[in-house]
Structure 1
Amino acid sequence: MAFSNLAFLLFLFCSFDLSSSYLTSLSKGSSLSAQDIIVSQNGIFSAGFFEVGDNAYCLAVWYTEKADSENTPSVVWSANRDQPLNGKYSKLSLSHTANLELVDAGQFQIWSSRTESHEHVELYLNNDGNLVLHELQGTVLWQSFDCPTDTLLPGQLLTRQTQLVSRRSESNRSSGFYKLLFDSNNVLTLLYDGPDVSSTYWPVPWLVSWQAGRFNYNSSRVAVLNSLGEFSSSDNYTIRTSDYGLALQRRLRIDSDGNLRVYSQDLSRAKWYVSWQAITDSCNIHGICGPNSLCSFDPKNGRKCSCLPWYRVKNQSDWSYGCEPAFTPTCNKSESTFLELHNVELYGYDNHFVENHTYSYCENLCIEDCNCRGFQYTFDEGSGKFQCYTKIQLHNGEHSPKLKGVTYLRVPRTKSFSSTRESVKKDDPVCYVHIHRDYLGKQVSRFSYFFLWFAVALGAFEMACILVVWCFLMRSNSKSGIDQHAYQLVKLGFRKFTYSELKKATKGFSQEIGRGAGGIVLLVYEYMENGSLADCLSSNNTLDWSKMYNIALGTARGLAYLHEECLEWILHCDIKPQNILLDSNYEPKVSDFGLSKLLNRDNLKDSKFSMIRGTRGYMAPEWIFNLPITSKVDVYSYGIVLLEMITGKSATADIQAVNGVDTYDGRLITFVREKRRVASWAEKSIDPAIGTDYDDVNKMKILVTVALDCVEEDKDARPTMSQVVEMLQRHETDP
């Protein structure tokens, strides 16, 4: 037996996706990413990030083995079903204070266990499917069994504090409209909790609890399914599955159609089958076809939904929206009449109930009420009296030969009304829409699939381009009231150029718009009135001190955003005055990302560069001496640019060859460092063209200090760009 269990586990692990990482537990200070999976010891259950959409994930527990009849493994628990998170950079972390935290893309906390402990703790997955956070001595801090979603596993308790909530549909795993819970009378109840109305539909709502075989005196409120197939509740409700007594994998689930079912897995482990369900006729489930509709059921064909006469369906793919009037309701009695619908009942929402009155009295009671939508007039054989119910809403409609009642529907009195629709017909080809029980997707041609995916891919590419431009091209308004510490992008005001405009500007694409170091430009920027920082440094129109400081600060903010705020961290690799553009207000914008490098923030140590990148004079020593490349190479280049701005000297004036590569020999850096050793060093470092035109010597000193810190040979001694921003901003706001 032990050998067979081992063989089964080996089979499961060999069949896993080799790109995933499989764990047995999670300890303090560690985390779980979208590629990591925790597997129970018996291999039956898995826990981790379960994909519920395109790059949308939920923290979940599921059966490891996928049944042949299902497209995906069966999920038994989920933490964030109504708020899926991004697959990239999202993590489940177990903090050092023993709190489980589910964080979306490293920024927003989606879910937390709200636990705390100073002991050694561990998160592991039990063989019964219970995800447990416990101290090593055994104390349970949190467990998934205490917060079920739509499923109960054997041994898992449903209590007064918990409830099962269905999914929205078979393809939508978010919370739906149906719930299993204990009501205020201690009775286990199925409840329809729709967008507009709610009502109990199981046990049969017109019966008192003892008539339905339920007792309400036991206030313990607990229900449980055992492994042999018995489901029992403290209100005296007990059932046994059709395969009771067999040792099978089982689960009890409230499905998206509102029915409560027990599923068993056959001995071959090939598929799940229904071994018990609470409701045989699914038309008895409230809200199943939405308002203003009728539900009909037969065992062979399943359930059908149709609109009432003079009503039209709202959403063919989702009958929970029901139907809406195809006419304008009126309070004018002379403009209304009633359609007679045999074998039809509409449960609930009665405005008036009267007994032992004539049909005319009941009809007049409805027509005098502007809100009355119809009425039911029925002879009750038990009491021997006629009963009248007037309806202000048309919900829970059912059509069945077993129903003896007659419903009268209020509709407009018009000659254009077709007599062929005055009664409900079982096979009405216009109104009826099948609800398939197998939940198969609609068949689509290969061409349609290709066109659909092409459109999706094109849209995704276009969105990606927009995001890259927003991430790369930024400017900061230093005079605005926005919190600068957040490094938020300022609105760029891009202009969208049409194809014809670009064609005209380039004379039929025969004339170059621009050229960079890598070739012809394919990318059109908005016009930057003051050109590049290099243009300003080389011209006679010297930048004043205020503009210089703002350019330094704005450029630092842009680089800090690239290095630390984007989803994919970005190294520019070619920071120099030529790549810092200035608009009409001398607000800077970092440009030319031809040499940039995207970094995976989860694996920064694995950033590989196939070649040296940058411009001589601005390249950090790491490039020359084949050291690890980090964001500090941009910091170094930024420091060189600051020194050029401050001194008016060119970084490329003195170039030497090292190992066959042209590089800067450091004379500009040495010049400024030597000046710093003498009195009045700050004034002697400044470009003479600036003269004494600066308002704060301390600001000028901090700018020189920041520049020299950025060009340290040891990359670890350099500040990050966010630290540079903090230093410059602090002095910018000082009085």
Structure 2
Amino acid sequence: MFKRLTPQCFKAYASHSTTKNASHSTTKNASPIRLAFENIGTGYYSFYFDNDNVLRLIYDGPDMTSVYWPNPSRRVLDNGRTNYNTSRIASFEEMGSFFSSDDLKFSAFDMGVRVKRRLMMDYDGNLRLYSLSGSTESWVITWQALTQQCKVHGICGRNGICVYTSERPKCSCPPGYEVADTTNWHKGCKPKFDPTCSQSQQWKFMQIQHADFYGFDLIYYESISILRCRKQCLEDCRCEAFSYRVGSCYTKGALFNGYVSPNIRGGIYLRLPQSVDTSPPTNPNVFNTCRINVSTTYTSTSKRERWIYLYSFASAVGAVEFLFILSGWWLLFRRSHGVAPPLKDGYALLSSQFRMYRYAELKKATKNFKEELGRGASGVVYKGVQADERVVAVKKLADIYKGEEVFWAEVSTIVKFNHMNLVRTWGFCSEDKHRLLISEYVENGSLDKHLFPPNFLGWKERFKIALGIAKGLAYLHHECLEWVIHCDVKPENILLDSKFEPKIADFGLAKLSQGGGLNSVSSHIRGTKGYMAPEWALNLSITAKVDVFSYGVVLLEILKGIRLSNRVVENSEEEEAELKRFVKVAKRKIQCGEDQWIEDMLDPRLEGQFSRNQAAKMVEIGISCVEEDRNKRPTMVSVVQMLLECEEEPNIQQ
């Protein structure tokens, strides 16, 4: 858990009084409201205009100085900013919109007049905009700079690693290190060994999967092997670790800004003395840490080198801090009745692009709901064109969503999603009896319209789609603001953009995993027959493994090019589901070592145009995902990792 670091805290608020300037910042009157910055503390975090006239967030601590927002890995223009300006001006309008001379723009979710607001640099290093709720007299978050708290630099100190959990981000010490001060994580972790470099010292490398330390690269090597990368680190006394990603090697001179994320390929390799104890503490909670996943150890001796597998990937990486998400939604008023939806305690993390639409506006955009794109149990989707000519998908929700409580639960789930493999929702409408969701329009429609005969997908597209779906589900299960179980993964709910990148849609059956991440939750919700895991029928508690089962069915259908979920075949004794028969035949062929087993498991229309390694791995993953015993099914994070390991294989192999 993060400790308060006596922050450099700036509070911005709308006022009719004289404008004040904060350190490093310049403000501009936005008549009749003026923006005021008030310095209410001293600490290590600052919100300031840099020398190139770009607004930034920086951690300036005793051990390091590091900019972390906007994304320091990208160029200024790629972050949507500009340094081609000669002024340092920022204004905050009464409606709740912020503008600055570097092209930074954001808005409060509850845009409107007569709302008290404040812009604060909080103690955890995040910049947040708050609005005062008139009905509860409490402050709620209506915008924040970083949705992933572990991207804030300095929060876990030197050698510390930020880990997402079901409750909130927590700090952890890597193997070979221990917490320096249990009352102040800013002091980070100290080594259990003497870091002095000597020729007689024997070293080993321990990998922390899906982890990285930002910055402090000694040397960057390109197009080299992991053995060469490891050798470069061994030969440099300054090197404390190295990061290796598909031919790219980064040696680290210091370990700052560590974090774990499923989106990080590979991991960080720590250089540790051979003699150091890397076993987990008997009681890790003493230090209030969250243990990270250690997978593989590489050792080095004076005679020879060995690669030994010590640990397996035991559990999924945690999720982003739960910021008490729901209460901000109930700031929105039911315009037709003049009353506000019920409020709940906590904060709301809301996108500046997410807004409320009027029903008349949507009726006009869809030409009175003329062009239907699709329909399902949760509602009907129509194509619409907004006034700014942006094409959108407008979903009229089914009768179940007419109740306020159900609808707001749905909206509060969707707004938290931010991933390239999830359909982006732009806003909603809650007016009289109407309940609608407005999302991005995905050009190529659903997967089922391209995969099954008479339509056809090539191998490259099939692999990309399989990987993209896995990434989206891994985000929902392990990295979303709250862990979410989709509950209805099927080809009809996988949309394809112009480049055939998949986007998971239709969260009408989504279920938040309450209080335990991937632990079990009970639910009466049902998915689609053929894609539902056995535990639904057995009336067992529901976990994220129901999505893993559904993904396995979809993956095998991608491979075979036909419906496996609803087909029944007849044999000499009894009828048998096509999926069950497919799995049984595949297992038998694999065990018998038949030469052509892969070809027999794939869509014959591919005519040999596929990668054998990728196909074999996908069959293996699909079979493991549809195991009746959910404990034998993999997590979606491990599925992503297995697919990424063969992503670089040649796409076509005859």
| TM-score where L is the length of structure 1 | 0.35
Larger radius of gyration: 1
- TM-score normalised over the length of structure 2: 0.40
Larger relative contact order (CA 8 Å, sep ≥ 6): 2
